[in-house]
Amino acid sequence: MEKILEKAENFVDHYRKLEKDTNELKSEFQFLKRRKIDIDSRIETEVRLGQVVKEEVKGWLEDVKKMEEDIQDVEERVHSVSRYNRISLDILVREKIEEVKRIQERGNFTEGLVIERAPAPGLIFPTENLEGSSKDEIWKCLMGNEVGMIGVCGIGGVGKTTIMQHINNDLVREGRFQKVIWVVVSYPLKVSELQTKIVDAMKKTLREKEEMRRAAELMEIMGRESFVLILDDAWEEFSLKEVGIPEPTVQNRSKVVITSRSAKVCNNLRCKIVEVRPLSPKESLNLFLDKVGRDVLEVEGLEEILNSVVKECGGLPLAIVVIAGSMRGEYDIREWRTTLDELQQCVKSMEGMEDKIFMRLRWSYDRLRSPEIQQCFLYCSFFREDYEFSRKELIENWIDEGLINESGSRQKAYDKGQRYLNRLERNYLLEKIVTHRVAFKMHDVVRDMAIKSIGPEVRYMVKAGMKLSKVPNEHDWAIDLNKVSLMANGISKIPVGLSPKCPLLSTLILSSNPNLSEIPSSFFEDMVGLKVLDLSDTDIEALPDSISNLVNLSALRLRGCKKLKYLPSLEELRALKKLDLCMVGIEVVPQGMEMLVSLEYLDLYCQNLKEIPTGILPSLSSLQYLVVHPSISITKGINLEEVSRLSKLESLECGMESIQDFNYLVNKSKDFVSLTAYDLRLTTSKEDLTRYHFGGECQCKVLIAKCEIGEECIVLPHKLEELWIAYWIECMVELDSSSSSFCCPTLDKLEELNLGGLPNLSVLVRGEGVATSPHIFSNLTQLDMWQCSGMRKLFPLELLQALQNLEVIKVRNCEQMEEIIASSDSNDTSSDKFTFPKLRKLKLLQLDQLKSICSGVMHVMLWDFYSCFYGASLLHILNLLSS
């Protein structure tokens, strides 16, 4: 009877607690998600520095990603659960809570996220499991002496690039060839661009300007070492000699591999053809299960439907990956039946293989089921083929286009854009690339599908990267055109009198046409509906007066137009929300800028700009994002009191010459409730305003250089994440004390600290200062110190407990430095137990007086990470480590 009552109580308990447990699950996962965001940021930085992500970290990230999908599924089921299923669903929710907690525990990674990578002959690509048998045949050709030119052919989406990425990685790791060079060719091929890509991949440069002389120079550079040159995605025939690629021979021990959809291109280049065929049913199923998750096999009755869905993918890895990504986390057998029906119908209606591929990919696009995300995806087709766009660039463009509906806050709009980007990446419609930076790109077949998916109600003209030397003729500009992209071409001139009749045109992109120097006024006369105009990275010297009549314009992007000196009056552009003048050659602000009452984004990073006249900034009451070239402040060209009155400001970048101005703005910044990012520079040197480059991830940054402080106290702002202090500063002691040179309520958010050229700096922070601020430097991950000749001891023992997140220590040219970790003056050895659990890199250069790195047992952990010493003998290094 007791067991029956116990079961009854459990039954009632689960029935009643579903909502409460669901909220607990969400809360636990939010904590996990924040940890993942931190880890992702750290990984991006480390990968840029040449590190390799540990396999256990990769597995953990995959588990978090899968858990997010599982929780989305749970939430959907909770909303529609019947009373009969509440108990079983609550049991599942409790299981997920425990699973989330287990993942949280695994995510501490006290021994770091990455491992050091030895210098490699080429680039390592992130890859996943590979299915198919073509790799062995290609590898055999590479290892033998019989074949020098290899052509890897097959239809789009069959996996040519993926196979070659795996082979590339194996070649780099194997080390048989001195160079492994990866270059994306794409269409249309331009010899000079291909030459540049090859030398860039080899980390070399070409001095010559003329194409034939460049070929000779490239031939000489490549002839010095054995190489494998992988030319990915070639569409047309070319001459190795004209480019400057040495013919592969047994003597030079080199190879050239070309991937192409055209066997004819490979034949004409005298390649040994290796055809990549679609995957077998077994290979297809393995790849599908890798992407969708093998737990779907546990759903009763699903296996037969699953096999049919895989069959509809036609053995094409691209289709398999995209469709599996769209179905990940789906366990309802009815959804799978619907998917199968839809795939069968869309493929059955097509005849050619290419159309069948498009329809399979189109199904995944349709399954996004969010018009906003779909439009963001289609916008990616505006970029030229194989274009790698940054996260910020893409999201900013989505905001400019009005594709993200999040009024009131730019940060909220950016956050939503990040969610959209994650969704597209998760569904494999966008590919994330991690090399020296994090970027995204579209597979060329997916891009073709996107262009074809643009509905008849919207007319696009996309001719990005097509080698156009002039704009399309007037009859190509249809009256119902909505969006036009002519970016990344060779357009040098727009004919006088050309006036396209496009009243519905909302977006025109002419960016990255470096020879475009002039636009006639007639060109914009019949574009009255234009909302986004992008002329970035062109040689244009003046904007035509007809710009003033584009009263619906909401975004004007002129970034990188260094020769642009003249802009007409902007007085009538009352709808303008974004004005990007970064690196533009103007010397005065555009006339009528004070009338831009809707302006939210203003980038005035213009080196030649002398001032921002008083009265303009207060008129821009909607401003959320403001960047001003710091040299303007050197000439007193900005009114900081006006800046402080911008109540909606979320992001600010500017420079100041005096401590009084800096302190004034910092104190006022506390009133900026919405301020989430800043880059503030205090210096009297124009050279130092742009000399130092902050890290990519930190949002709250301060640079202080070449200014004499004297007895004045510098007030540091809240939420500070990265701090540079360099040259001629009188002193810096007791960072936590209001009686010192620096006043800051807390430095527990600081992640990077850079100190250089400070001869009077004698102590980082005093021991008694640590007692009053125990969390000082608790988030510090990197310390870089150079030319601080007064420093003898870097870290006092009292500070060690606060440095548990420190990953990188660099100390250079500090003539008097004797100890990295100060030895204790007492018999108390309790501090010896404190180590640096995350430290992975110790770099010590030109420390002539260094006697000890650390004392006690702490030296043991030094063998677990990369250390480099310059100007010291091996015996001296061993003595340091054992002292």
Tens of pLDDT, residues 246-283: 999 888 899 999 999 888 889 888 999 999 998 899 99
Angle at 98 between CA 94 and CA 100, to 5 degrees: 110
CATH number at residue 161: 3.40.50.300
233 in a structural domain: yes
Strand partners, 852: 819
pLDDT, averaged across the chain: 83
Query: Which one of 339-353, 377-391, 793-807 scores highest in mean pLDDT?
Result: 377-391
- Residue 857: pLDDT band (50, 70, 90) is very low
- Same domain for 792 and 699: yes
pLDDT at 595 over 80: yes
555 in a structural domain: no
- Same domain for 807 and 752: yes
Contact criterion met (CB below 8 Å) for 377 and 429 = yes
- Same domain for 162 and 85: no
Instruction: Provide the 8-state DSSP code for 852.
Output: B
For residue 11, the model assigns a pLDDT of 47
More confident call, 300 vs 82 = 300
Q: How many domains does the chain have?
A: 3
- Same domain for 213 and 104: no
Query: Which one of 6-15, 160-169, 532-541 scores highest in mean pLDDT?
Result: 532-541
pLDDT at 130 over 90: no
| Residue 873 in tokens | 């003998």
Q: What is the pLDDT of residues 18-73, one digit of tens each?
A: 778 888 888 888 888 888 887 887 776 666 555 678 888 888 888 888 888 888 88
Give the position of tokens 């992001």: 651
For residue 864, the model assigns a pLDDT of 35
pLDDT at 883 over 50: no
- Same domain for 858 and 718: yes
- Cβ neighbors of 404 (< 8 A, separation 6 or more) are 372, 376, 395, 398, 413, 416, 417, 420
Q: What CA–CA distance (Å, rounded) separates 763 from 780?
A: 17
- Residue 797: pLDDT band (50, 70, 90) is confident
- Same domain for 98 and 179: no
With pLDDT > 90 as the criterion, what percentage of the chain qualifies? Answer: 33
Question: What 3-state DSSP class applies to 557?
Answer: strand
- Same domain for 848 and 740: yes
More confident call, 485 vs 858 = 485
Burial 79-108 (b: 16+ CB within 10 A, else e): eebeeeebbebbebbbebbeebeebeeebe
pLDDT at 289 over 80: yes
- Same domain for 100 and 151: no
H or E element at residue 405: none
- Same domain for 109 and 28: yes
Structural domain range at position 268:
134-275
671 in a structural domain: no
Q: Domain boundary at 46, 80, 115, which?
A: 115
For residue 744, the model assigns a pLDDT of 58
- Cβ neighbors of 651 (< 8 A, separation 6 or more) are 410, 624, 625, 626, 627, 675, 676, 677, 678
199 in a structural domain: yes
- Residue 650: pLDDT band (50, 70, 90) is very high
842 in a structural domain: yes
Q: Domain boundary at 242, 275, 308, which?
A: 275
CATH number at residue 774: 3.80.10
pLDDT at 491 over 90: yes
Contact criterion met (CB below 8 Å) for 357 and 316 = yes
- Same domain for 877 and 824: yes
Q: What CA–CA distance (Å, rounded) separates 824 from 803?
A: 17
Tell me the one-letter amino acid at 709.
I
Contact criterion met (CB below 8 Å) for 43 and 57 = yes
796 in a structural domain: yes
Whole-model pTM over 0.75: no
Q: Domain boundary at 275, 295, 311, which?
A: 275
For residue 243, the model assigns a pLDDT of 92
β-bridge pairing 507-509 and 481-485: parallel
Q: What is the pLDDT of residues 169-200, one digit of tens each?
A: 999 888 888 899 999 987 778 888 899 999 98
442 in a structural domain: no
| Residue 709 in tokens | 């402080």
| Strand segments (E) across 522-667 | 532-534, 555-557, 578-580, 601-604, 625-628, 651-656
- Same domain for 172 and 72: no
588 in a structural domain: no
Q: What is the pLDDT of residues 686-735, one digit of tens each?
A: 666 655 555 556 788 888 887 766 566 788 888 888 888 887 555 444 44
162 burial level (CB within 10 Å; 0-12, 13-18, 19+): buried
- Same domain for 71 and 170: no
Contact criterion met (CB below 8 Å) for 498 and 473 = no
- Cβ neighbors of 715 (< 8 A, separation 6 or more) are 662, 663, 666, 667, 743, 744
Q: What is the pLDDT of residues 499-548, one digit of tens each?
A: 999 999 999 999 999 999 999 999 999 999 999 999 999 999 999 999 99
293: left (phi over 0), alpha (psi -120 to 50) or beta: left
- Distances from the Cα of 536 to the Cα of 512, 516, 587, angstroms: 6, 10, 18
| Strand segments (E) across 73-176 | 114-115, 149-153
